[in-house]
Amino acid sequence: MTEQEQRNRIDMKQAVDIAFRAIQQLYPSYTLEDLLLEEVYLGLMNENEWEVTLGFARPYSTERPGTLSNVLPQTKPRTYKRFFIDAESGDLKGMLDGRIEAD
């Protein structure tokens, strides 16, 4: 890759911004609790794509009742969405559920 091509690529912060905008557009009627950046990779699966993972608490999930759940605060399960963003154009290429589990 030439130096000019590297300069024309979007950087990590731009890729993250694109992912945050995309998740808000895809879920406009939901308030996504605890929306956080989880992971960012360039070229993990495709050398010309940023892969950005965002996580949030699922507000519609309920925990099973139990004796401890009545006493201890319960955390809501998290959902993870992986966004694939073209490193050249900044176009959103796709979204998948889940995180990559590192071995």
pLDDT of 30 above 90: no
Give this prediction's pTM. Answer: 0.76
Our CA angle for 14, 35, 46, nearest 5°, is: 45
Q: Judge contact between 1 and 67, C-beta under 8 A.
A: no
pLDDT of 44 above 70: yes
- Determine the average pLDDT of the residues in 86-97: 96
Domain ranges of the chain: 3-97
Strands lying side by side in the sheet with 33-42 = 33-42, 49-57, 78-86, 92-97
pLDDT of 33 above 60: yes
Task: State the architecture of 3-97 in CATH terms.
Answer: Roll (3.10)
**Mean pLDDT for the chain overall:** 83
Q: Provide the terminal-to-terminal Cα distance of the chain, rounded to the nearest Å.
A: 29
Q: For 68-85, how does the pLDDT look when each residue is reduced to its tens digit (9 = 90+)?
A: 655 666 667 889 999 999
